[in-house]
Structure 1
Amino acid sequence: MLKVMVACGCGMGSSQMLKMKAAEVFKELGIEVTIHHTSVDEAMSTANEYDVVIVSETLVRNFSKAKATVIGLKNILSKKEMKEKLQEAHVGE
């Protein structure tokens, strides 16, 4: 089971919506996950505890030292974009 973290600036509304979209996408891909949502500040300090980190493209640079696979999205509500980027990164294979 993959450990996934989704993050936004404050860790409130946007990350919760991102978590719901991610859950749908991973289910469609047939990948079992646990998903945690949080603020980017917390995410930066705990990223190495996760397999995948999903954030807005503007936040990707904050994870340059993370061992996790970092997925940056232009549109955090686009299931299509998330699915494509997860597949391109070979997440779950």
Structure 2
Amino acid sequence: MIKIVTVCGAGVGSSMMLRVFTQQIIEAYNIEAEVEASDIGSVNANEYDIVITTSDFANVLRESTAKIVRIDNLMDKAYLKSELLSAINEL
């Protein structure tokens, strides 16, 4: 099972929205994955296969072993889908 985490500053705003969008994508493609949301201060990115976050936080997590999906337009579901599926294919 693929472990995915969405990350934002507080863990309640954009990360929750990204978690919902990510869940919709993996369900649509029948991908076995677990999606969590977290804040930048408490996430251990190395516990996940994929981290989805904005560029600001991606830079903080760049040392992580997880694949980082950067998304700055949170409403761009098509971009999220293509980047997420690409990251899953690389696993």
Given the two structures, how large is their TM-score scaled by the length of structure 1?
0.86
Q: Cα RMSD over matched residues?
A: 1.5
Equivalenced residue count is 90
SS in 2 for 1:86: helix
> What is the percent sequence identity of the aligned residues?
28
- Structure 1: unaligned runs, 5 residues or longer: none
The aligned counterpart of 2:10 is: 10
Between structures 1 and 2, the one with greater helix share? 1
How far apart, CA to CA, are the structure 1 residues paired with 2:65 and 2:30? 23
- Structure 2: unaligned runs, 5 residues or longer: none
CA deviation string 1:35-74 (max 9, x = no partner): 110101112xx11011110001222111111001110002
Given the two structures, how large is their TM-score scaled by the length of structure 2?
0.88
How far apart, CA to CA, are the structure 1 residues paired with 2:62 and 2:13? 25
Q: Displaced runs of 4+ in structure 1, greater than 6 A?
A: none
